[in-house]
Chain A
Amino acid sequence: MNNKKLIITGLVIFLIIVLFPFWYMRGKAAPAPEPVLTPKAQAAQACVRSTEYMRSEHMLLLDVWRDSVVRDGNRIYVNPQGKEFNMSLSNTCLDCHSNKAEFCDRCHNYASVRPYCWSCHIDNPKEKT
């Protein structure tokens, strides 16, 4: 190795630059968001499925709901507890979760996902404008 000094210095600088964001932001990770439930959602106690299921699978659930309602015309969802729900984002989900900014957006922003549900489905069916 002829240019030992040069190479080692270069490597050190490279590593510092690459790792800079890690040590600069160390311990400053944004805390996991806590979605706020509306009084109505709190009163209902349980969602369509368990909280854990909804947290991880709600997008899949909505996908299945949409295909069923649109393609087959079947609009009633019976959850494992035997409770029936109208499969509607506008009228069932957003009826309880009528606080988009504090509920939906918090996690979506945190996870940096931008679903475009609300470009058609109106945020809050109950709120009269």
Chain B
Amino acid sequence: MDSSRRRILQLLGVSALALTTRPVFNAFAKEEVAAEAESVIKAGAKSLKAKQWAMVIDTRKFKSEADLEPLIEACHKIHNVPRLQNKRHEIKWIWGVHYHNAFPGKAAQFLAEKVEQRPFLVLCNHCENPPCVRACPTKATFKRESDGIVFMDFHRCIGCRFCMAACPFGARSFNFRDPRPFIAETNKEFPTRMKGVVEKCNFCAERLALGQLPACVEISKGALAFGDLYNPKSDVRKLIRTNYTIRRKQTLGTEPSVYYIV
């Protein structure tokens, strides 16, 4: 082919012109899409909002394990938490322990009798600096920006259990078995989990979205308070202001959001 300088310049010019057509086509394509109405995603009108949800547990109002039972039952029932007899397979979202288990390092050799015998309700602390989130390799567990809940995306959990090793509170349980046969009464409105997935308390995010308080708080007859830690007028801040409260393993620096009035 005979390629004179003129011919090459002509080709370059035409090519440059061709390059400009794509943005023009794109612009037209965009207009077409915009003409078709778009769908919108938004929060529910009644949903409760907070910067960091927090809970205050008035442990003085619980005398024995039997007092905790209805709260645990309410939570486990609505979240389809299975009841497994084998302790090593147990799934727990919320449960009761002794003072020296809940607050190791704080339990002196001799304790006030009432504190020693009192059951302490424990659950995921929804830490402000959660070690489980840093441990998760798939971002299946994460600190939710919108409300500070340490949430789990069960779809993404690969069951590596790094989060369980990282959590200093033992708040996470692993489904060693298919949980479905062990759920006495399934709540059809909440999914179950499957074998090989870690689970834990979600601060009843599904109820908060409907404007309801967490199930345990609702049933506790005032022993549990729930609210925004960063709103000075919230119930939890009022209680923290007027009572002496402690948190679990505070020295670890995870900044738990569950406070205990002892």
Contact = CB atoms under 8 A, between A and B. Distances in A.
Contact of A70 (B43, B47, B151, B194): B151
Interface string A105-129: 0000000000010011110111101
Interface stretch (A8-16, A21-29, A39-47, A76-84): A76-84
A64 B41 CA distance: 10
Nearest to B191: A120
A59 B181 CA distance: 28
A65 B138 CA distance: 19
B39 A79 contact: yes
B54 to A, nearest CB: 17
A76 B43 contact: yes
Interface string A77-100: 111110000110011000000000
B189 A120 contact: no
B36 A122 contact: no
A68 to B, nearest CB: 5
Contacts, number: 72
Q: Is the interface of B mostly helix, strand, loop or mixed?
A: loop
B44 interface: yes
Contacts of B24: none
B38 interface: yes
B188 A73 contact: no
Interface string B189-217: 11111100000000001000100000000
B60 interface: no
**Chain A CB within 10 Å, residue with most, of B151, B191, B194:** B191
Contact of A90 (B38, B47, B147, B189): B189
B42 A122 contact: no
Q: Is the interface of A mostly helix, strand, loop or mixed?
A: loop
A79 B55 CA distance: 36
Nearest to B197: A120
Contact of B191 (A76, A86, A121, A129): A121
A12 to B, nearest CB: 45
B192 A49 contact: no
Contacts of A129: 186
B153 A73 contact: no
Contacts of A5: none
Interface string B93-123: 0000000000000000000000000000000
Interface of A: 49, 64, 66, 68, 70-81, 86-87, 90-91, 116, 119-122, 124-127, 129
21 contacts: A49-B39, A71-B142, A72-B144, A72-B146, A73-B147, A74-B43, A75-B43, A75-B44, A75-B209, A76-B41, A76-B43, A77-B40, A78-B40, A87-B41, A90-B190, A120-B194, A121-B191, A122-B186, A122-B188, A122-B192, A125-B188
Given A80-B36, A120-B193, 17 more contacts: A49-B39, A71-B151, A71-B153, A72-B144, A72-B146, A73-B209, A75-B44, A75-B47, A77-B39, A80-B39, A81-B37, A86-B44, A90-B190, A120-B154, A121-B191, A122-B188, A126-B188
